[in-house]
Every structure is written in structure tokens, then in C-alpha cells.
Amino acid sequence: MDFSPVEILRRGGQGRVMLTCEHASRALPPWLHADAAEEVWLDSHWGWDIGAAALTRQLSVALEAPAVLAGFSRLVCDPNRSPGNSTWIRSQVEGHPLSFNQGLDDAERLRRCHALYLPYHQAVDTLLVDRLVHRLPTFLFSVHSFTPNYMGQRRDMEMGVLYDLHEALAEGLAEGLRGRGYQTALNAPWSGREGLAYSPDRHGRAHAVPYLELEVRQDLIGDGAGVTAVAQALAPLVREIAASC
């Protein structure tokens, strides 16, 4: 299968929303290899956000929205973290060393940055600039998912809306999701105010567009029927939020 660090959907989409999905793939670039035990971690929530890419694809169609999806696993380097963050590249998962992340020198870290990380962020920047040049109103919406059981802790929450600057927009989306029956929290399971919505924050601030990050519990979008149900509930809410910006 051909490898690309970034995938762009509906580049010319005229809707008011632009989507990103930083953890869309569990793929390794061709110069890295995982053993059988490590494939388990790549398949898990550590390797990618299960269901997030499928949800992004459905939202892209429903909202006529362009979308940028990362084509590499977050375990290679995390596009939703700064390269200066200690979790940008993880050497181990739950105490298990990852062979492809052991003993990395500066050259390998730089290789991943230039071959993977920067092409993803440059694609987001390019698409945003193009929309702004054409005076298309844009609400930047980042799609993620979280595991129902994290390190032995059950999570009952079903949706999380992460924000830093745009509290009113976050509250409006959370209220709409609750109205559709989803247990929804603000800045959970992670907080946008602690830098954990790095990518939408980076691009939203740089281009002065409103932005939020959504987290969906993975068992809700673990199959096609679940993805469709969430997309159908979510799309009109996101469209309404975008129209209010």
C-alpha cells in the first residue's frame, strides 16, 4: 500500500467548516517496522484514534467540508503535540518499549519532523490560507476519539469538547450533544487549556479562525452503524456552530 503522511478530502468544499483528524492512521512510514507484539499497540488507542477517520469522512460529506487527515501513527510522532513535548514520540506504551522508538538520535527525530509532521501541518496551513484568500468563513473542527477504558479506569463520558479561547462555542456544542442524549463534558478527557488540543489551537490562532476539538468515546464509533449515528447527530450541530461564528 502506498504511504502518504497526509490525506486531503474535498479540497474545494464550500461549507463553513474545515475538518482535521490528527490521529487518523495507525500506519508506519516505510523506513520503520514493528514486530508482532507492537502491532497490537498500533491497532489500539495508543496507535491511532479508533473511528475518528471514518467519522471525519462522513462529516466531510455531510458538511461539504474540506478535511486534512494525518497518514501516520501518533506513535511515530504526534501531530497533536509540539515537537518539544515529552510525548511527541513515546519510547514505550504501558511499560512496553517500542523498538522503532528506541535510541533515537537528533537526525531521526528531524527526519520524522520533516517527512511526516511538517507536511501534515503545512497541508492544514495551505488549505486555511486558500479558504481565507477566497473569503470563505471557516470554523476549524478537529475530530478525535478516546478509549472507554484508560489504564483500568472506565470512562462513562461519551463526548468531550476541548477548547481554550472559544468557551461559548464549546458550551453551545456540548449543550447540543447533551440534548441528543450524549453524556458530554467540557475539556475532558483532556483539556484544551493545557495544550492538549495543540493542532487546532496552533492553526486557529495563526489564522485567526474559531476552532474546537471533539473527543468521541471509541465504542460509539467502532463500526459503520455507530459512525453514521454519531455523524448524523453531530453534523447539524457543527453546522449551526459554524454559522454562529
Domains, the chain, with CATH or none: 6-244 (3.40.630.40)
Q: How far apart are CA 221 and CA 125, in angstroms?
A: 28
**DSSP summary character for residue 4:** -
Average pLDDT, the chain: 96
pLDDT above 70 (res 1): no
Task: Answer whether residue 50 shows pLDDT above 70.
Answer: yes
Query: What predicted TM-score, i.e. pTM, was given to this entire model?
Result: 0.96
DSSP 126-150: HHHHHHHHTT---EEEEEEEE-SEE
pLDDT (mean) for 141-155? 89
Asked if residue 115 has pLDDT above 90, the reply is: yes
pLDDT tens per residue, range 10-32: 999 999 999 999 999 999 999 99
Question: Which pLDDT score, from 0 to 100, does residue 149 have?
Answer: 86
User: pLDDT at position 153, please?
Assistant: 80
Which pLDDT score, from 0 to 100, does residue 30 have?
96
Distance of CA 13 to the CA centre of its chain: 19
pLDDT at 2: 85
Which of 213, 219, 173 lies closest to 193, judged by CA?
213
Q: Please give the Cα distance from 11 to 65 (Å, whole number).
A: 8
- Show the cell assigned to 145: 476519539
DSSP assignment letter at 9: E
